[in-house]
Structure 1
């Protein structure tokens, strides 16, 4: 497990990489929440590596300030996280993710197969990886702002798994309905709604963590990745 550097279209940026015991392995780009590449994201990478994936989490906030590592435990950190999200350039972020995937596929430890899994902001970015990249599959956990991106859904040509929380405080009910309606006929998209759960229900230790829902979502994710990246 180590920090690596990736060369992107606008310069080099850091990423955390967790390498599985057996290589070559499929790559999984783990996409950060609004708190940066913090302990939560690093631990997720470590867990995916234990399951046989070359897991890489790139620093998407590097243009604003590199190496951001916040928690969800204080109001000041939440405010800083929202400020970073407001300054974040989504389009450039997608290019960084594509560069990360390309970098990973060129590593000796990678089979050439590669997908993404993103949480919160990362859930939005994984949706965009499905619409704008050649990733083999993508997983979105409680992505924000997806109702505004449905025009890109026609570009999805690889499997996309989406986890939505029915009581998501950052995705209003009307937005959820719009997302489900807009994607319900798409043959590459599978949506699971977790009734009674709030945003970030799978973030262990978080305010809205729900062990049962998280276990179910994570099992679905592992099964999905096994089907499409093996």
Structure 2
């Protein structure tokens, strides 16, 4: 595991306020959630080998109070914790949540400053699942100890790369109440850094997951979604409580309002389903 030196951390901690360079051009449909009545900004999360940055958003009324907030971990897409992921955090905060998006690539580079998706993949390939699980655990601990997080109301959501992480984290953390995975890969090749994949951990899930997928997703074959549905149907609770929605004609990234993959109808429906899912399962 790469040690986070102070120099490395200072380089990695500058979470951009804008969109990743590789995500350009930015669509005029991009949603911008204001910060009125919110506390927002970059915080530092202590981890086993140093600190990683995270973007946090929460209702301002909870700051400096004993109020406990339902907590949502927001796991980045491949482009990192850029403007879109930060906005998702603010959207949850407007609903009364503490939402935190830790920088999962902090030790390896800043994908927001890279203009090529191939360059970003070089960073992603270095990130081990075990490290991701540990960093998410550290983020939860920080949320409870330092930011009004309610340990009994913990949820997770993630997009693309982060959608896969949602399934894995649900098998990792016994205290998780619910998760929402947006078009996360379900199968893949095993490697020392990625030894297992979502389809292989269905029976180990500690919380029900809502999976949101697109019919025209070229990165996630529908047959893998069908296999996940079959595995869910054959499992005991809580895995049997999982649900998978496939949106007709929707591509990969249909919730990403800043890209041309954005599908407003599917995105709005998925966002409402996500809210309902968390509330139905004791988060919020």
Q: Which segments of 5 or more consecutive residues in structure 1 lack a partner in the other structure?
A: none
Q: Distance in 1 between matches of 2:141 and 2:278?
A: 18
Q: Structure 1-normalised TM-score?
A: 0.91
Q: Distance in 1 between matches of 2:205 and 2:267?
A: 26
Following superposition, the deviation at residue 7 of structure 1 comes to: 1.2
1:44 matches 2:95: no
Following superposition, the deviation at residue 70 of structure 1 comes to: 5.1
Question: Which residue pairs with 2:283 in the alignment?
Answer: 229
Q: 2:146 aligns with which of 97, 107, 118?
A: 107
Question: Which residue pairs with 1:195 in the alignment?
Answer: 248
Question: Which residue pairs with 2:49 in the alignment?
Answer: 10
Question: Which residue pairs with 2:223 in the alignment?
Answer: 174
Following superposition, the deviation at residue 9 of structure 1 comes to: 2.4
1:33 matches 2:61: no
Q: Structure 2-normalised TM-score?
A: 0.74
Q: Distance in 1 between matches of 2:178 and 2:244?
A: 14
Q: Distance in 2 between matches of 1:132 and 1:217?
A: 25
Following superposition, the deviation at residue 22 of structure 1 comes to: 3.9
Count of aligned pairs between the two proteins: 225
Question: Which residue pairs with 1:152 in the alignment?
Answer: 201
Q: Which segments of 5 or more consecutive residues in structure 2 lack a partner in the other structure?
A: 1-39, 63-67, 189-196
- Equivalent residues in 2 for 1:78-227 (5 A)? 78-112=117-151, 113-133=153-173, 134-146=175-187, 148-185=197-234, 186-227=239-280
Counterpart secondary structure, 2:116? helix
- The root-mean-square deviation of aligned C-alpha atoms, in Å, is 1.8
Following superposition, the deviation at residue 187 of structure 1 comes to: 2.0
Question: Structure 1's 171 and 108: CA in aligned 2 closer, same or farther, altered over 3 A?
Answer: closer
Is the 2:157–2:180 Cα contact (8 Å) retained in structure 1?
yes
Following superposition, the deviation at residue 62 of structure 1 comes to: 1.1
